[in-house]
Amino acid sequence: MAEKVAKLGVSREKDFMYYVKDGGVWKVQRKQPGVPKGRPEKVADGGFEMDTNYIYFVDRDGDVARAKRAVGGQKRKKSARKAAKRRPARKAKKTKAKGGKKKAKAKKGKKKGRR
């Protein structure tokens, strides 16, 4: 599924996140509570050009790999579409006032429905 672009052999550290930007591998400290945001640091220069049709990442071996972007997301199963259909909304009932125009009485008590 993914193809290797550059063999760099970057050794990873547990507390850092690695990413590919402008043909190079960068690392930044992971977010942790109470710790200020870390500064990105360039680890290695891959020397390749990036194509917008691919996602670039650092794989298990520490090499740069790329995978084709999923444009438009994944296709859904047909059974999932049926389950996603909604019921039509209920229409409010109209009440006729007897003997001309009168104001409706306000009901006291708890409101029905979710909160």
Task: Look at residue 61 and tell me if it is in a domain.
Answer: yes
Task: Look at residue 33 and tell me if it is in a domain.
Answer: yes
The domain tally of the chain equals 1
pLDDT at 90: 77
Task: Look at residue 32 and tell me if it is in a domain.
Answer: yes
Task: Look at residue 95 and tell me if it is in a domain.
Answer: no
pTM recorded for the entire structure: 0.57
Task: Look at residue 23 and tell me if it is in a domain.
Answer: yes
Asked whether the predicted pLDDT for residue 81 surpasses 60, the reply is no
More confident residue, 76 or 81: 76
- pLDDT band with cut points at 50, 70 and 90 for residue 97: low
What average pLDDT does the structure give for the chain? Answer: 82
Q: Is 20 helix (H, G, I), strand (E, B) or coil?
A: strand
DSSP assignment letter at 96: P
Q: Which long-range contacts (CB under 8 A, 24 or more apart) does 18-22 make?
A: 18/43, 18/58, 19/57, 19/58, 20/46, 20/50, 20/56, 20/57, 20/58, 20/64, 22/50
Task: Look at residue 17 and tell me if it is in a domain.
Answer: yes
Q: Is 21 helix (H, G, I), strand (E, B) or coil?
A: strand
Residue of 2, 13, 3, 7 lying closest to 44 (CA atoms): 7
Task: Look at residue 99 and tell me if it is in a domain.
Answer: no
Q: Give the structural domain span for 54.
A: 3-68
Residue 45: which residues within 8 A CB-CB, separation 6 or more?
23, 24, 25
